């Protein structure tokens, strides 16, 4: 089968629509560098589109009806949206599920220290990264510090032009002969990923009190602590109850002379999260309830209360069933198994510079449309969704009828490697599920690349899917 570059097919009207959509997408990337920030942005967009919080709907005590739009937020880090269809929930839903966490470095619980007049924050990386890619590049710090009194300090430092940035040092090339002999996995080790946050000692000039002028043990660290105290009202101990994420600084950019691509941090998987959300907010008057799940923790195995393995999703379905009328557990089970899902996640785009990692007939290409993926490359399809032929045939018809360009691919050559998504977790309910999303070049690097055409086409595919009648 031939893969085509879909740019050739677009009308002027479509090209205009594509550019507007991709500008919105870049704005989303700039304003949603962490899962918490993503949830904030998504709640705003959803409320503008008439979505109401589940708790409010429960309080109001009204019965669920077709056309109701409901969202539920889990611990500020995951969100689920529902557009209630004309059919009862028992008949199943059309579900889009993406994740809003991305690889990064997290600040440790006891992070601040000083060495040789440099103040550092110690980090522990989150998700799969090539550690050597994260040094000597500007970084920003995003997250929350929750104080014992329950108040929350929000932080976002390094993405405004006037903000300072942070960085991890790297050894100069002149002295790196020994370092460069190491394996790439060891060139920069995990414990070396500490960010530099200061170099100026705290000096208190006070002639009346000679003692105060005496040098502190770690004057640069003290200087940083004073700034944290003055500007954010936090003490050193407050790092214990903080969630601070270190991410590449700077905005999402258009890439290439032709501006055909987007280069940005966190496109795995915010590209599918945004396209799924956009599709969700577009669809109206659906027959079958549409659902959009945007979860946390995918990059570390979907663990935790905000990851897909949490029962939060099931609980929300139960609440909806309860609002629909007489609650019945068997109907919950029927709803879940009758649902169809696209696990909206990215695939590895074929990279001509590293062609040997791919099998070209079964690879996804930049600019060739939405990517379906039944399985990834390793250990005999281990961890894959291995979706049913019947389901794939159904999806082919849905997308062909909507004239959406798509391709089928594996993530890499057989036994070269692989990667998981949330698909296997949803498959446990007995529902049909397959991975479907955007091809990404240099996935999990500080800056990942996508084709605008693929982002646009995937959004169109998601809309067609949500409007479909089910199997
Ligand atoms: Mn992903
Ligand atoms: Mn990933």
Kindly indicate the confidence band of residue 417, based on its pLDDT and cuts at 50, 70 and 90. Answer: confident
> What pLDDT digit, counting tens, does each position of 297-343 carry?
999 999 999 999 999 999 999 999 999 998 999 999 999 999 999 99
Q: How many CB atoms lie within 10 A of CB 136?
A: 13
Determine the distance separating the centroid of ligand 1 and the alpha carbon of 345, expressed in angstroms.
5
Buried b vs exposed e over 286-310: b needs ≥16 C-beta within 10 Å? bebbbbbbbbbbbbeebebebbbbb
pLDDT at position 1 is: 64
Of residues 207 and 241, more confidence is placed in 241
Of the bound ligands, which one is closest to the alpha carbon of residue 344?
1
Ligand nearest to the CA of 128: 2
Distance from residue 421's CA to the centre of ligand 1 (Å): 6
Distance (Å) from CA 375 to ligand 1 centroid: 14
* 286 CA distance to ligand 1 middle (Å): 28
User: Where does the chain hold its CATH 2.30.250.10 domain(s)?
Assistant: 104-248
What's the rounded mean pLDDT across residues 336-354? 97
Q: Could you give the CA distance from residue 343 to residue 96 in angstroms, rounded to a whole number? A: 6
d(CA 234, CA 429): 45
Instruction: Delimit the CATH 3.40.630.10 region(s) of the chain.
Output: 7-102+265-467
Strands (DSSP E) along 116-188, which ranges?
A: 118-126, 139-146, 152-157
The count of other CB atoms within 10 Å of the CB of residue 2 is: 4
Q: Which CATH architecture has domain 7-102+265-467?
A: 3-Layer(aba) Sandwich (3.40)
Q: Which ligand sits closest to the CA of 127?
A: 2
Q: Is the pLDDT at 134 greater than 90, yes or no?
A: yes
Helix (H, G, I), strand (E, B) or coil at 108: strand
Ligand 2 midpoint to CA 178 (Å): 31
Q: Count of alpha carbons within 13 Å of 83, Cβ hemisphere only?
A: 24
The Cα 62–Cα 66 span in angstroms is 13
Tell me the chain's radius of gyration from C-alpha atoms.
Answer: 24
Helix or strand holding residue 331 (H, E) = helix 329-338
pLDDT exceeds cutoff 60 at 213: no
Residue 414 has pLDDT above 70, yes or no: yes
Structure tokens at 61: 């005590």
- The number of the ligand nearest the C-alpha atom of 443 reads 2
Alpha-carbon distance of 220 to 203, in angstroms, equals 9
Mean pLDDT over 154-161 rounds to 97
How far is the centre of ligand 1, averaged over its atoms, from the C-alpha of 437 (Å)? 9
Contact 175, 191 (CB under 8 A): no
pLDDT of residue 214: 61
Q: Answer whether residue 381 shows pLDDT above 90.
A: no
CA of 348 to the centre of ligand 2 (A): 10
The predicted model gives 157-161 an average pLDDT of 97
Instruction: Check residue 203 and give its pLDDT.
Output: 84
Distance of CA 68 from the midpoint of ligand 2 (Å): 33
Cα–Cα distance list, 106 to 20, 101, 123, 131, 401 (Å): 33, 12, 5, 13, 45
Distance (angstroms) between ligand 1 centre and the Cα of 136 equals 25
User: Apex CA 23: angle with CA 20 and CA 27, to 5°?
Assistant: 140
Q: What are the phi and psi torsion angles at 253 (to 5°)?
A: -125, 150
- Using the mean position of ligand 2's atoms as its centre, give its distance from the Cα of residue 299 in Å: 5
How far apart are alpha carbons 304 and 422 in whole angstroms?
13
Task: Please return the burial class of 463, using the count of CB atoms within 10 Å of its CB with bins 0-12, 13-18 and 19+.
Answer: buried
Comparing C-alpha atoms, which of 463, 247, 455 is closest to residue 346?
455
Instruction: Tell me what percent of the residues of the chain surpass a pLDDT of 90.
Output: 90
Question: What pLDDT is recorded for position 99?
Answer: 98
| Total-model pTM | 0.96
* CA 298 to ligand 1 centroid distance, Å: 7
pLDDT value, residue 210: 61
Give the pLDDT band of residue 206 (cuts 50, 70, 90): low
pLDDT band at residue 132, thresholds of 50, 70 and 90? very high
* CA 203 to ligand 1 center in whole angstroms: 47
Task: Tell me how far the alpha carbon of residue 98 lies from the centroid of ligand 1, in angstroms.
Answer: 8
- Exposure string over 319-347, b if 16+ CB within 10 A, otherwise e: bbbebbeeeeeebbebbbebbbbbbbbbb
Nearest ligand atom owner, CA of 103: 2
Counting ligands in written order, the one closest to the CA of 102 is: 2
Ligand 1 center from residue 346 Cα (angstroms):
5
Alpha carbon of 154 to ligand 1 centroid (Å): 26
Q: What would be the CATH architecture of the domain defined by 104-248?
A: Roll (2.30)
Question: How close is the Cα of 443 to the center of ligand 2, in Å?
Answer: 7
Q: Give me 279's structure tokens.
A: 């599709």
- For residue 441, give Cα distances in angstroms to 31, 345, 356, 445: 22, 14, 15, 9
What ligand is nearest to the CA atom of residue 270?
1
Per-residue pLDDT for 215 more than 90?
A: no
**340: helix, coil or strand?**
strand
Q: Does the pLDDT of residue 382 top 70, yes or no?
A: yes
CA distance 240 to 108: 8
Sheet holding 139-146, edge to edge: 152-157, 139-146, 242-248, 104-115, 118-126, 195-198
Is there a contact between 263 and 439 (Cβ–Cβ < 8 Å)? Answer: no
The pLDDT, as a whole number, for residue 208 is 65
If we measure between CA atoms, which residue out of 292, 250, 273, 277 comes closest to residue 447?
250
User: Which H/E stretch holds residue 94?
Assistant: strand 93-99
């Amino acid at each position: 089968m031939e893969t085509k570059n879909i740019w050739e097919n677009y009308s002027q009207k479509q090209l205009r629509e594509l550019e507007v959509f991709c500008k919105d997408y870049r704005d989303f990337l700039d304003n949603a560098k962490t899962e918490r920030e993503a949830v904030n942005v998504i709640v705003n967009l959803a409320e503008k589109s008439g979505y109401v919080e589940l708790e409010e709907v429960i309080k109001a005590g009204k019965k669920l009806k077709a056309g109701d739009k409901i969202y539920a937020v889990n611990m500020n880090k995951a969100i689920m949206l529902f557009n209630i269809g004309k059919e009862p929930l028992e008949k199943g839903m059309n579900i889009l599920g993406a994740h809003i966490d991305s690889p990064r470095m997290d600040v440790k619980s006891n992070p601040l220290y000083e060495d040789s007049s440099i103040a550092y924050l110690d980090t522990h990386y989150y998700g799969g990264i090539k550690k050597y890619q994260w040094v000597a590049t500007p970084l920003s710090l995003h997250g929350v510090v929750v104080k014992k009194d329950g108040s929350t300090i929000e932080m976002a430092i390094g993405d405004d032009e006037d903000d300072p940035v942070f960085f991890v040092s790297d050894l100069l090339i002149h002295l790196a002969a020994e370092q460069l002999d190491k394996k790439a996995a060891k060139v920069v080790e995990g414990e070396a990923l500490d960010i530099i946050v200061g170099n100026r000692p705290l000096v208190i000039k006070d002639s009346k009190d000679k003692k105060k002028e005496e040098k502190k043990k770690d004057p640069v660290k003290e200087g940083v602590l004073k700034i944290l105290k003055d500007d954010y009202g936090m003490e050193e101990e407050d790092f214990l109850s903080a969630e601070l994420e270190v991410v590449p600084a700077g905005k999402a950019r258009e890439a290439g002379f032709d501006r055909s691509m987007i280069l940005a941090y966190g496109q795995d998987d915010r590209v599918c999260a945004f396209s799924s959300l956009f599709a969700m907010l577009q669809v109206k008057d659906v027959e079958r309830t549409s659902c959009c799940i945007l979860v946390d923790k995918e990059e570390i195995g979907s663990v935790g209360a905000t990851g897909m393995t949490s029962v939060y999703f099931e609980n929300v379905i139960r609440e909806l069933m309860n609002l629909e009328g007489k609650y019945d557990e068997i109907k919950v089970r029927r709803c879940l198994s009758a649902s169809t899902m696209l696990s909206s996640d990215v695939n590895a785009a074929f990279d001509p510079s590293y062609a040997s990692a791919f099998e070209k007939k079964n690879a996804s290409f930049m600019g060739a449309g939405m990517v379906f993926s039944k399985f990834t490359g390793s250990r005999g399809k281990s961890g894959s969704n291995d979706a049913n032929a019947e389901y794939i045939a159904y999806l082919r018809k849905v997308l062909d009828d909507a004239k959406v360009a798509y391709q089928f691919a594996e993530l890499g050559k057989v036994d070269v490697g692989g990667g998981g998504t949330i698909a296997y977790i949803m498959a446990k309910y007995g529902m049909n599920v397959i991975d479907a999303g955007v091809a990404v070049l240099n996935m999990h690097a500080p800056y990942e690349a996508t084709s605008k055409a693929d982002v646009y086409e995937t959004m169109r595919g998601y809309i067609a899917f949500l409007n479909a009648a089910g199997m």
